[in-house]
Amino acid sequence: MTLRLGDTVPDFTQNSSEGEINLYEWAGDSWVVLFSHPADFTPVCTTELGMVAKLKPEFEKRNVKVLALSVDDVDSHKGWIGDINETQTTTVNYPILADPDKKVSDLYDMIHPNADNTLTVRSVFVIDSQKKLRLVLTYPASTGRNFDEILRVIDSLQLTDDYKVATPVNWKDGDDCVIVPSIKDPEELKERFPKGYEVIKPYLRMTPQPNK
């Protein structure tokens, strides 16, 4: 199954390090970051799971739940969690899906045969509170993911859902935003952007972040 941005993600029920999880029920009205790993006891992924544990309060501030996945079983996950806690000086505080039957991996197209026909690639899925897919990132096994970037993208997605803006290159929370081109009426511009805006080109207008 190929998932595209804006699709409703498929539901599933699968065992995890914290018991059985039904995605839709577990997510509730939260956003979800689902991120996959090729296998347990892999070095790059060990550092990633530790970092996500440390960043969990940042995800929670944004109403985001985090959910890892590996194709190994629950007993293996529990052994790996011990290593993660020890080596990364943290406590894994979120579930790791056990996917030995590759049910979820196949459902979310996490196995790329040209990369490896048995292991999941290292994908990140950002899913909003309506169960819509908002972002997919896929990394090679050799490159660690940047979870600060994933938080940055979530900030942008949530901001642009609520206001008629987009976020420019290298934007961070608090920076100026781009007014979407569809708004042209001067009165609507004045009403929506009371802090004012700068016209650089007719199609490129910058305004202070509306919710700051």
Q: Both 117 and 179 in a single domain?
A: no
What are the backbone dihedrals phi and psi of residue 138, each rounded to the nearest 5 degrees, phi first? -130, 125
**Dihedral sign, Cα of residue 73, residue 79, residue 80, residue 84:** positive
* In a shared domain, residues 118 and 53: yes
Residue 114 has pLDDT above 60, yes or no: no
Per-residue pLDDT band at 115 (split at 50, 70, 90): very low
pTM across the whole model: 0.93
Least confident of 24-33, 62-71, 113-122, 187-196: 113-122
* Domain hosting residue 177, numbered range: 163-207
Average pLDDT over every residue of 34-54: 94
Decide if 45 is catalytic: yes
Catalytic residue among 27, 32, 45, 64: 45
User: Can you tell me the distance from the alpha carbon of 171 to that of 189, in angstroms, rounded to the nearest whole number?
Assistant: 22
Residues 15 and 79 placed together within one structural domain of the fold = yes
Return the pLDDT at 193: 96
pLDDT in the model for residue 116: 53
CA distances from 63 to 21, 118, 176, 212 (A): 18, 33, 23, 18
- Asked if 36 and 75 count as a contact pair (C-beta separation under 8 A), the reply is no
